[in-house]
Amino acid sequence: MVSHEDEQVQNAIGHFEYRFEDGGLVTPPYMYVYLEEGPQPIPPIFKGRDTQSGIRETGFTFVFDSNDFWGVNIPVGQGFRVQHFVMGGSTEITFGFVTGMINPSEKAGFFKFDLNVDVQGSMRRVEGFFILKQNITAL
């Protein structure tokens, strides 16, 4: 039986991948998209993680300020924020860029990212992309 948490995290279809400098390619099998509009909308969320449990998750979460986000080489903090999770701990990314857009009518987004991530006190570059669409049947 699949837990409610895993149903929610696996509610996206598409592709998510990233690579740390001098590291191997990571393609998180657990993906999540939240794009709902309403009187009190929750910000759009795109998430990729490579662990089954959210308690010890490793991956990235992108949270956007609005459903109409789009742009080229937009710096972190200008309309979105990024969290990096590793073994249950999290770090907010403060430097990097994304290029892409959210398509609210399709409940999808596609983004390329280039981020600097603090890994155990050392800054490392990570590049990746995601093309994710909310899987309505999983909600």
pLDDT (0 to 100) of residue 118? 87
Q: What is the pLDDT of residues 26-61, one digit of tens each?
A: 999 999 998 877 677 678 999 998 877 667 788 999
Q: What is the pLDDT of residues 62-118, one digit of tens each?
A: 999 999 899 999 999 999 999 999 877 889 999 999 999 999 999 999 999 999 998
pLDDT (0 to 100) of residue 1? 40
Q: Which residue has the tokens 């430097």?
A: 95
Burial of 113 (0-12, 13-18, 19+ CB in 10 A): buried
pLDDT (0 to 100) of residue 138? 53
113-124: average pLDDT: 90
Instruction: Give start and end residues of each alpha helix (H) in the chain.
Output: 4-9
Query: Residue length, the chain?
Result: 139
Q: Which residues contact 124 (CB under 8 A, 6 or more apart)?
A: 20, 21, 116, 117, 118
